[in-house]
Amino acid sequence: MTSSASEPGTTTAGTVSLVARTVPLDGTPGDLVDLLPADAPLAWVRAGDGIVGWGVAAEVTTSGADRFADAEAWWASLTSRAVVRDDVGLPGTGLVAFGSFAFADAPGTSTLVVPRVVVGQRGGRRWLTTIGHDTIGSPALRLAEPPAAPTGLRFTGGGLADDAWQAAVADAVARIDAGELEKVVLARDVVAETDEPVDVRWPLRRLAAAYSSCWTFHVDGLFGATPEMLVRRERGLVTSRVLAGTIRRTGDDVRDAGLAGELARSSKDLEEHEYAVRSVADALEPHCSSMNVPESPFVLHLPNVMHLATDVNGVVPDEATTTSLGLAASLHPSAAVGGTPTPAATALIAELEGMTRGRYAGPVGWMDASGDGEWGIALRSAQVVAPDPATGRGRVRLFAGCGIVAGSDPADELAESQAKLEPVRHALDA
């Protein structure tokens, strides 16, 4: 375990360090993402609602197997010492932290960031939260200068070339056939290069517009538009949207309706989906006093693909000790991004993928001081990395993965991964 924290302006451990004030906000123009300045923007938005933030009032970096517990302990300590005046009182008002967690225990780091400014929107109501030390002023809110489009966009290979990745899929199928495990999710990466480092607000705006039914996010260079909600906790109610089982869309509505029917009847996809639902239901159960797990999935239509989807709901009796981040820690990695059984699947991922996932497929989202929050799975996502030292060109790693079960076909899985890379690929286009 390692963790390092900073609370700018704090000199003595244990003193009151943060002051937060939330007020209703009327009449700010534009979408939430249009308010974001270029410097360290944070975002979690869906269909116009959500929260965006900027500036750093406090942050923590954690790593290892205790990355969630250490971040939670830091947040509990910070919120217990803060002075908060909240005139709105909705989930996401008052103190909030945005967070992004590594997929694996190692390598990789995780972070929680408390912004200086948060603007939120829910059901037609907007609010502004300012967070600082001692006294805080209200920032002038205006639409930010629009981001510049990336130029010179070029895609290069990531860890494994296409045929090597297909060989890894074939290997995984052989290991499943041999009885070592039942399901494993294998991912691949692709590197986008641009003339200058990418202004992440460009793909964010495009993703929020094109994938409005997904959660568009950015935390610390990790951005994307995920359709999968690992866990939401809102005043004792817990929801998880489980996805597994995928078919590409053709763009022709009649054909897509036929394909949706095929997906809903496909025994391979139903089996793959069942593993994912079971893993979520089993992980939530110890925390819930009651649960609802639907018997069969529905088909979720996205612009690029369709998924088998199940919404699992539950009631958490003890809100004080079961935070949304604690629930995310219990659920991660679900079989939608790891496999079944989890230890065998995560070991096989490390053996076969030929790359490190970093924060791809880890929990990403936000939490407030009450423990309410939303943690999505960082899918349809990319990580901004350091520019190429030789050329200075900007670099972004894009990720996509596919659930492999008995009978999975490597070429089909490659095509599925390409469809899953599409949202971020297009979002980077000028």
Ligand X SMILES: C=C(O[C@@H]1C=C(C(=O)O)C=C[C@H]1O)C(=O)O
Interaction of residue 307 with ligand X, rule CB under 6 A: yes
Beta bridge partners of 45: 50, 216
Taking CB under 6 A as the rule, which mask of x and - marks residues 168-197 in contact with ligand X? -----------------x-x----------
Nearer to ligand X by Cβ, of 79 and 246: the residue is: 246
Interaction of residue 401 with ligand X, rule CB under 6 A: yes
Nearer to ligand X by Cβ, of 58 and 190: the residue is: 190
Shortest reach from residue 157's CB to ligand X, in Å:
17
Active-site amino acid positions: 183, 228
Nearer to ligand X by Cβ, of 130 and 279: the residue is: 279
Query: Residues with Cβ < 8 Å from 267, sequence gap 6 or more?
Result: none
Shortest reach from residue 342's CB to ligand X, in Å:
14
Phi (first) and psi of residue 276, to 5 degrees: -70, -45
Could you tell me if 404 and 173 are in contact, meaning their C-beta atoms sit under 8 angstroms apart? Answer: yes
Tokens 């009182």 -> residue: 89
Among positions 32, 402, 424, 428, the unique one binding ligand X when judged by CB under 6 A = 402
Shortest reach from residue 363's CB to ligand X, in Å:
13
Stretch that binds ligand X, among 116-124, 153-161, 164-172, 396-404 (CB under 6 A): 396-404
Nearer to ligand X by Cβ, of 88 and 284: the residue is: 284
Distance, in Å, from the CA atom of 375 to the CA atom of 228, rounded to the nearest integer, reads: 9
Nearer to ligand X by Cβ, of 117 and 405: the residue is: 405
Distance, in Å, from the CA atom of 360 to the CA atom of 364, rounded to the nearest integer, reads: 9
Interaction of residue 243 with ligand X, rule CB under 6 A: yes
Could you tell me if 414 and 215 are in contact, meaning their C-beta atoms sit under 8 angstroms apart? Answer: no
Among positions 18, 78, 222, 244, the unique one binding ligand X when judged by CB under 6 A = 244
Residues 199-228 that bind ligand X (CB under 6 A): 228
Nearest to 37 by CA among 174, 121, 165, 141: 141
Say whether the peptide bond before residue 423 is cis (omega within 30 degrees of 0). Answer: no
Interaction of residue 336 with ligand X, rule CB under 6 A: yes
Stretch that binds ligand X, among 82-90, 156-164, 241-249, 288-296 (CB under 6 A): 241-249
> Measured in Å, how far apart are the chain's first and last C-alpha atoms?
41
Would you give the DSSP letter of residue 286? G
Q: CA dist 110 to 17, 66, 72, 266, Å?
A: 22, 10, 12, 37
Phi (first) and psi of residue 421, to 5 degrees: -80, -20
Shortest reach from residue 88's CB to ligand X, in Å:
34
What six digits make up the tokens of 190? 């692709």
Stretch that binds ligand X, among 13-21, 41-49, 150-158, 401-409 (CB under 6 A): 401-409
Positions touching ligand X (CB under 6 A) are 185, 187, 228, 243-246, 307, 336-337, 379-380, 399-403, 420
